[in-house]
Amino acid sequence: MKALFILNGAPYGDERTYNGLRLAGALAKRDSNQVRVFLMGDAAIAAKGGQKVPEGFYNVQVMLGRVARATPESVGVCGTCMDARGMKAAELMDGAHRGTLDELAGWSEWTEQTFVF
């Protein structure tokens, strides 16, 4: 299956992004699936590298990394959303890239199933 996840929620304090990444990771583990994740709005911060969270707390950077390793070039971050939050491309975690709405449009045509969180 080709699955596209569009995440909008803040990475911490709001469990939408966390739950979306849980499902994306579970699907990405299966060899027959291809998973892509596009981060918009407050979810853009989820791809910031170097996240440090309290011990025992989930880390969305680690969760995104699992998807990125399963399918290269699979984590896009809305460039406009990055700009609004003062994020630079150099701050993105390994495996994530600055994306565009045109890229998301192409991914929307590519996918067989879209999940929005």
Here the CATH number for the domain that contains residue 59 is 3.40.1260.10
| Tens of pLDDT, residues 73-83 | 999 999 999 99
Taking only the tens place, the pLDDT of each residue in 88-97 is 999 999 999 9
Total domains, the chain: 1
Q: Distance of alpha carbon 117 from its chain centroid, rounded?
A: 11
Q: Identify the three-state secondary structure at position 115.
A: strand
Q: Residue 23 is part of which domain span?
A: 2-116
- Is residue 72 scored above 90 in pLDDT? no
Q: In what order do the strands lie in the sheet with 75-78?
A: 96-99, 75-78, 34-39, 2-7, 113-116
DSSP letter at 93? P
The torsion of the CA quartet 52, 55, 57, 63, rounded to 10 degrees, works out to 60
Distance between CA atoms of 61 and 50, rounded to whole angstroms? 8
